[in-house]
Amino acid sequence: MRTCPNCHRQFMDSQEACPLDQAPLAAPTATQPPVGVGRVLGSYRLICLLGEGGMGNIYIGAHTRLNRYAAIKLLKPELQNRHDAIARFFEEARTVNRIKHPNIVESIDLVEDVVDGAYCVLELLHGPSLRRRLLDGPLPVDSALRVGAQIADALHAVHALDIVHRDLKPDNLILIERGGRDDFVKLIDFGVAQISRDDAAGMPFGTAAYMAPEQAAGERVDGRADVYSLGVLLFEMVTGSHPFPSSNDNEYVLRHADDTPPRPSKVIDAAIPKELDTIILRCLEKKPQDRYPTAAAVAVALRAIDVTPKKKRTGLVIALGTLVGAGIGAAVLVPDLLADQEPAVAAAAPPPAPAPTPAPTPPTPEAPAQPETITLKFESTPPGAKVYRQGESVALGVTPFETTLVRAGRTTPVRFELEGYEPMEVDASLEKSENISVTLDKVPPTPVALDQDKVRPPKKLGKRPLQREGVMDPFATKN
């Protein structure tokens, strides 16, 4: 195995450079490769183990014919023969595919092979997990606000489809570089997501350290459980520590249910805005109804916090302001300052009248910040049509549905397709949220052309005596 000097991940011997950071790999060693590394699944060879989950392991896959890489999530061998595990594994892949959002990992392909088993192909994310980033200590407040708002945006898109992630934790958040920053968020792993039609209750799913009290109790949950987990993440990001440090899962569950979280600004000796304190503590309320009602509300609250450093006035400006505010006394002080230099003039000149103080100019209100995403609602008559963006082969969804897209100052063509109906293409604006509704026309029936050479006149039948059904007449005459 060969090791990357930057990320310290191990790759098979034939790999020359790390696909994540392009660093040359160290010389091969005699280390035994992890289980699965070296296998070929379809068009991909597994070259590195990225991580292990409850249902499957995630690898870096190198395409055997194209110079490209992807993340491959492979269902564990012991689960390959369990229909319930395969069904949940596929449901995760379909869930990711339904949610089109810039802060959520993109699903590329889903395969079930009789030999290789079930696996999902995902985009390969070039960046560390939030867990790895927190090993270096708390994030700067501005970065924590930015990361938290993006997580809330992603959750809003998830909840809009009646899905609850249920496993929001630092390991499932990848930070990649985009726009000159290294804190662009990608939410991954929907393996334990609760789907709207899944009525299962009684068994808790998720990670105890980030689990809402009602989730740990095995109750059916809604998006406010994810809001609680986001509160734990925000606490960790600004303080570098967990609000309820515990040594095992049972202790985490009990402390989440019973203990009052400390105020973040009291945990760390750093400047944390009071508004952020309030947001985190509201997310961590024990009762769902006491938290923010939606993840979108959390995103709005986080973006409303201004951490821009205020410019300090210079000493000269402060001094002048003091003199002006002093009124007539300021006029007496000025001649006194000049008395040593021009005593005669200072004595003879009358005290100058104070200059009128100009009325303060009211500050120009700033335009409200536009959200980074918009929500489009698609409907068709009849329903059930697949909607595609131009140049894409994966449908945005099946009508009726809503989807969240990145805001842009343009339009994008979308195409409605339904079997038995004519395809219809319309322009969807990416500037604001709106409803798009169309009525599809049926495909006209195709007339069947008859081959006259093969058309034969009906054969004339002779007269036959009537026969009762099910009874043979031995005396019937034959023509």
Could you give the residue numbers annotated as active site?
Answer: 167
Parallel, antiparallel or unpaired: strands 434-439 and 373-381: parallel
Long-range pairs of 31-35 with CB within 8 A, sequence gap ≥ 24? 31/1, 32/1, 33/1, 34/10
Q: Is 206 exposed, middle or buried (0-12, 13-18, 19+ CB in 10 A)?
A: buried
Q: Which residue has the tokens 């992630």?
A: 165
Q: What distance in Å separates the CA atoms of residue 350 and residue 335, rounded to the nearest whole number?
A: 10
Query: Which one, of 170, 300, 292, 293, lies nearest residue 232 by Cα?
Result: 170
The strands making up 44-52's β-sheet, listed across from edge to edge, are 40-41, 44-52, 56-63, 69-75, 117-122, 107-113
Q: What distance in Å separates the CA atoms of residue 295 and residue 153, rounded to the nearest whole number?
A: 7
Q: What distance in Å separates the CA atoms of residue 238 and residue 142, rounded to the nearest whole number?
A: 10
Long-range pairs of 356-362 with CB within 8 A, sequence gap ≥ 24? 357/324
Evaluate whether 22 touches 67 at the Cβ level (below 8 Å). no
Q: Is 130 exposed, middle or buried (0-12, 13-18, 19+ CB in 10 A)?
A: buried
